[in-house]
Each structure stands twice: as structure tokens, then as C-alpha cells.
Amino acid sequence: VLEGINNRIKVIKRMAYGFRDDAYFFLKIRAAYPGIP
């Protein structure tokens, strides 16, 4: 499960190449995993 989460975060990081702030990046990760606090 953890390996899948890491892989998904890497994909989001590749998609998020143009993001200016880290907060928006973490919001994207939170949006991908709504059940995890």
C-alpha cells in the first residue's frame, strides 16, 4: 500500500512541475487521498 502511495505522489510531482508553492502541492496530495489525515 505504501509503495502505491509513494508512486502516486511521484506522479503528482511530475504533473506539478510548474507549481510555485509547496502548499498547493500538498493540497493536491491531500485531494488524492481524502481518507488519510
- Looking at the predicted structure, is the pLDDT value of residue 1 above 80? no
- pLDDT tens-digit series, residues 4-37: 888 888 887 777 676 677 788 788 888 888 776 6
pLDDT of residue 18: 67
pLDDT of residue 19: 66
pLDDT of residue 22: 77
CA pair distance 32, 5, nearest whole angstrom: 10
Grid coordinates in use for 11?
506522479
pLDDT of residue 26: 82
CB-based contacts of 1, cutoff 8 Å, min separation 6:
none
